[in-house]
């Protein structure tokens, strides 16, 4: 994806950095970056004004590619931009960027698959879900 800024994303979230997030080197531990991405995904999937998840289904991560760009330092916060780059039959590909002080510190591409809670395995996205998801497409 081209160089995006936070304002380019349809969903914008933030997380406050905690001292407990830091490692022995004094910067935020790389494992915490996945938690930042989760914040953006949760706001995407569980937006009460545009629900995507039904009672019979849930979403699971099939793949996560995370590129670390810069270190993150405490104190402060990070902003997370989340958008869709592909809609499949039962899957969605999200693109996310994490920013600190308007500087990109990480980029991630995540494949999410909708599953049926009882039947297990992948489950096709409803037309209504596809319509809501399509509103979150990133523009190239």
| 93 membership: H or E segment, kind and range | strand 91-100
pTM of the model: 0.93
Flag whether 140 is in a domain: no
List CB contacts of 22: < 8 A, sequence separation 6 or more. 28, 29, 74
Assign residue 93 the CATH number of its domain: 3.10.129.10
pLDDT (tens digit per residue) in 77-87: 999 999 999 99
Domain that holds residue 101: 6-134
**Cα(19)–Cα(55) distance, integer angstroms:** 37
Domain contains 74: yes
| Rounded distance between C-alpha atoms, residue 138 and residue 140, angstroms | 6
Other Cβ atoms closer than 10 A to 137? 13
Report the candidate in 120, 119, 53 with the shortest Cα–Cα distance to residue 92. 53
In a domain, 1, yes or no: no
Strand-pairing partners, residue 133, are none
pLDDT of 10-45, one tens digit each?
999 999 999 999 988 889 999 999 999 999 999 888
Give how many domains the chain has, as a whole number.
1
């Amino acid at each position: 994806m081209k160089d995006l800024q936070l304002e380019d994303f349809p969903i914008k979230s933030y997380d406050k950095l905690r001292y407990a997030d830091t490692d022995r080197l004094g910067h935020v531990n790389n494992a915490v970056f996945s938690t930042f991405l989760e914040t953006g995904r949760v706001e995407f999937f569980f937006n009460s004004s545009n629900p995507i998840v039904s009672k019979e289904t849930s979403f699971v991560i099939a793949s996560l590619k995370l590129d670390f760009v810069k270190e993150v330092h405490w104190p402060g916060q990070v902003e997370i931009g989340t958008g869709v780059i592909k809609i499949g039959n039962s899957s969605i590909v999200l693109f996310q960027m994490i920013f600190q002080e308007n500087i990109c510190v990480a980029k991630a591409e995540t494949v999410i698959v909708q599953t049926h809670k009882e039947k297990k395995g992948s489950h096709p996205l409803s037309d209504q879900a596809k319509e809501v998801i399509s509103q979150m497409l990133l523009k190239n």
